[in-house]
Amino acid sequence: IASGHTKMVLITGCSSGIGLSLAVMLAKDEKKRYRVIATMRDLNRKDKLVEAAGDAYGKTLSLAVLDVCNDESVKQCVNDIKGRHVDILINNAGIGIVGPVESITIEEMQAVFETNVFGVIRMIKEVMPDMKKRRAGHIIVISSVLGVQSVGFHDVYAASKFAIEGFCESLAVQLMMFNIKLSLIEPGPVRTDFEIKMIQEVKERECPGADPETVHYFKNLYLPSAINIFLAVGQTPKEISKHIKKVMETSKPSFRNLTNSLYAPIVALKYADESGDLSVNFFYHMLFNLGPVLHYTVIAMRFLSFGFLKNHSVSPK
């Protein structure tokens, strides 16, 4: 494992979803190119990961406690790595939030930013000085297509992803001087039981502070459409993990990497019109005028793409 060909990979948020899938995929790499440190806040949630890792657990994959919202936890985790040597940092830990902005408290918003923005920055600040000294390293941030183009009712989540994209856009320029790569991964919907369950639970929740008309559009138009979109065009954590692995193994990875090519036209709307009117009007009509038929639109999108496009990736250029 100490071989010069083996890269030390530190991944945050590995108890489920993309983090779990990616940690296992890298640990089981046929060429044994990676030594993976899979982290999570609570090691009581390790069972799924340990089971999926199988024989790799304890060999090419080890576990560590890490809370990206805690300075001491971050420092302790990196200090416990031999020589503090991290070749690839994968910032995957994140939390989602959806709903009318009036019904989300400032405290809830701050919690999203604490993980999705400051958690990522905290990790980067901890490993970056050592990478600079070695003039080598790769920092990967799991962002979202919502960090490029937002949609209704994702105001706070999108704001957190826009923030980290802006941070990384500036940092990438500085890191080039030190031969350090920085890559943003921008998935669309991720198809997991947890995501679907979360959306269904949100539908049952009250929306205190929001007017009845907004609540109606959110619960009766947006949420059913969101579930249909998840089921029709969502990617699995494994599909996204394959894309991340490909970015890791490319000698000159792109800065921005959309994982779902079905979202390329939506991102293109933003780049096509500097006034922003095109994308704002498109999403308005899609939600408020086409809401009842959006389900069929999504099915048509999938059919017209022959079902295979979502497995290919593009960068918005």
DSSP character string of the chain: --STTPEEEEES--SSHHHHHHHHHHHT-TT--EEEEEEES-GGG-HHHHHHHGGGBTTTEEEEE--TT-HHHHHHHHHTSGGG--SEEEE-------S-GGGS-HHHHHHHHIIIIIIHHHHHHHHHHHHHHHT--EEEEE--GGGTS--TT-HHHHHHHHHHHHHHHHHHHHHGGGT-EEEEEE---B--HHHHHHHHHHHHS--TTS-HHHHHIIIIIIHHHHHHHHHHHPBPHHHHHHHHHHHHT-SS--SEEES-GGGHHHHHHHHH-TTSHHHHHHHHIIIIISGGGHHHHHHHHHHHTTTTGGGS-B---
Q: Is 33 annotated as a binding-site member?
A: yes
Per-residue confidence band for 297, with pLDDT thresholds at 50, 70 and 90? low
Mean pLDDT of the chain: 90
- The Cα 99–Cα 34 span in angstroms is 39
109 marked among binding-site residues? no
Measured over all CA atoms, what is the biggest interatomic distance in the chain, rounded to whole angstroms?
A: 62
Residue 1 lies in a domain: no
User: Whole-prediction pTM value?
Assistant: 0.91
Annotated ligand binding at 67? The verdict is: yes
Give the whole-number percent of the chain exceeding pLDDT 90: 72
Does 313 appear as a known binding residue?
no
CA–CA dist 50, 52 (Å, integer): 6
Domain total of the chain: 1
22 is in an annotated binding site: yes
| Residue ranges making up the domain that contains 80 | 7-311
How high is the pLDDT of residue 165?
Answer: 98
Q: Is 161 annotated as a binding residue?
A: yes
Asked whether residue 251 is domain-assigned, the answer is: yes
Residue 12 and residue 39 in contact, taking contact as beta carbons nearer than 8 Å: yes
Q: Looking at the domain assignment, is residue 28 inside a domain?
A: yes
Q: Which one of the listed residues 157, 263, 271, 296 is annotated catalytic?
A: 157
Let me know if 284 is a catalytic residue: no
For CA atoms 272, 274, 278, 279, give the dihedral sign: positive
* CA gap 104, 206 in Å, rounded: 11
User: Is residue 2 assigned to a domain?
Assistant: no
Query: Using one digit for the tens of pLDDT, what is the confidence trace for 175-230?
Result: 999 999 999 999 999 987 777 777 778 888 899 999 999 999 999 888 888 888 88
In a domain, 316, yes or no: no
61 lies in a domain?
Answer: yes
78 known member of a binding site = no
Q: Amino acid identity of 223?
A: L
Consult the annotation and say whether 27 binds a ligand.
Answer: yes
Q: Which residue has the tokens 């600079």?
A: 132
154 within domain boundaries: yes
For position 86, which CATH number holds?
Answer: 3.40.50.720
Task: Determine if residue 188 is labeled as part of a ligand binding site.
Answer: no
pLDDT of amino acid 313: 42
Does 152 or 25 have the greater pLDDT score? 25
For the stretch 33-67, pLDDT in tens is 999 999 999 999 999 999 999 999 999 999 999 99
Neighbours of 303 (CB within 10 A): 10
Of residues 34, 40, 43, 37, the one with CA closest to residue 17: 40
